[in-house]
Amino acid sequence: MNLNPLRWSWKRRIVLFALLMVCLFGAYRAYGIFRWKTYIWVPSYLASTNPDTEIPDDQKHLIFIMVDHYEHGGPQNHERGTLKNGRWLKDFRAIASKHFDSFGNSFRYTWFYPYDHKNEQILIALCRMAYDGFGEVELHWHIPKGTTAEEFPSMLKECIAWFQQYGALISSGETPRTAFAYVAGSWNLDSSRPGWDTVTNQIDILHSQGCYADFTFSTIGTVSQPSKVNSIYYVTDTDAPKSYDTGIDAQVGHPVNDRMMIFEGPLCYNWLTGSLEYGAVESDPDLFPSPSRIERWIDANIHVKGRPEWVFVKVYSHGAQSQEAILRGQLDPMLTCIEGICKERGISLHYMTVREAYNVVKAAEDGKTGNPEDYRDYRIPKPCNMLFHTEVPVAIERVTESESRCTPIDGENTSKVEKVGP
């Protein structure tokens, strides 16, 4: 047997080279599997089937949602954060005012503001954006390490009360009630990251205090990522961590009202290139999301089972940290591209907030059909801060489309409260 490679035939060298390339390719794929922890969700991704995917584009409605983990810095950076936020919102207004969906609605955003940053001036400015029709404010929170299940309920009540002083996390109506969506800080929902906290029944606690849905996922590359992907589903909480790993799909004719919803964004894998798509707008800070990425978001085909013509795309960003990427380079062309793709494919486009999208899901569960526009406020009414604006903390008694009753706390100046109606 000739072991001298210098004397091997050219055929043998080609075979050896091919085997080497296959081994390198396999090693590269294996590295990607472990680096991005795709082993958590790829089995479910491969096994998933969609019996109702063949819907003509001209019958589809695309509900597009953009959520922002909006982090301008904690208490040590309040002054700087307030200034950055002012510039950010000014630039955002200019972009959002140029973009409209198929029904004339301007682009709407959802700011998930972190309670642990707790800057009242930023919250007031965000509530002003809600009042002016640019989006809504929801809850983001990096819960302190070491927090226990016994401590968390009272901490959450205090957190909600802080937001509600300015009309956020509370729905309008004759009797306003707590209603909010959630994004887990550091991706750590339901104690899914070992060593962070021990709030293993967090989902039930959140739901019991008014949380209707979580919008954290996908969290690719972390142990927090659920095995269930490209889904809208409900969780049965347990005493074990990461109860949301599986759940019951939202389905027409099967409304679920006693559990919290998990509302996922698109997660796709390209087997040829090894590339992953997970709905992070600024995953490449030098490029706006390309038409091929946007097509993959749409074709992930996230929907309520039995209502495939209503397709949901939820993407996310860290807009404060990525201000240059989002506001100077990506958001404007991305929206132009989405509008162009929908027009070309004949898809009806709807810009919605997470609350509005949740309401459309609930309408689908109840068997509603037709135009999702009719169901933006189907279950949860507009938050109070869309109907009145305050620059001082207030106690809210009643807020409707025609009237608001609220009392400034600690004798604050009532002239800083803008009310609807007489």
Question: Over the stretch 210-243, which tens digit does the pLDDT of each residue have?
Answer: 999 999 999 988 999 999 999 999 999 999 999 9
* Pairing mode of beta strands 404-408, 310-317: unpaired
- The least confident of 32-36, 245-249, 285-289 is 32-36
Q: If you average pLDDT over every residue of the chain, what do you get?
A: 89
Which of the two residues, 238 and 51, has the higher pLDDT score?
238
Quick one: CA dihedral 41, 46, 50, 56, positive or negative? Answer: positive
What does the CA dihedral 328, 331, 334, 339 come to, rounded to 10 degrees? -130
| Token reading at 357 | 């999208």
9 band by pLDDT with thresholds 50, 70 and 90:
low
Task: Give SS3 for 146.
Answer: coil
Per-residue pLDDT for 3 more than 60? no
Task: For tokens 């200019």, name the residue.
Answer: 94
Question: Over the stretch 146-176, which tens digit does the pLDDT of each residue have?
Answer: 899 999 999 999 999 999 999 999 999 999 9
Helix, strand, coil percent values for the chain (each to nearest 5): 40, 20, 40
State the pLDDT at residue 19.
Answer: 74
Distance from C-alpha of 318 to C-alpha of 133, rounded to nearest angstrom? 21
Question: Over the stretch 295-343, which tens digit does the pLDDT of each residue have?
Answer: 999 999 999 999 999 999 999 999 998 888 888 888 999 999 999 999 9
Per-residue pLDDT for 415 more than 60? no
- The least confident of 270-279, 333-342, 412-421 is 412-421
Walk me through the domains of the chain, giving residue ranges and CATH numbers: 55-388 (3.20.20)
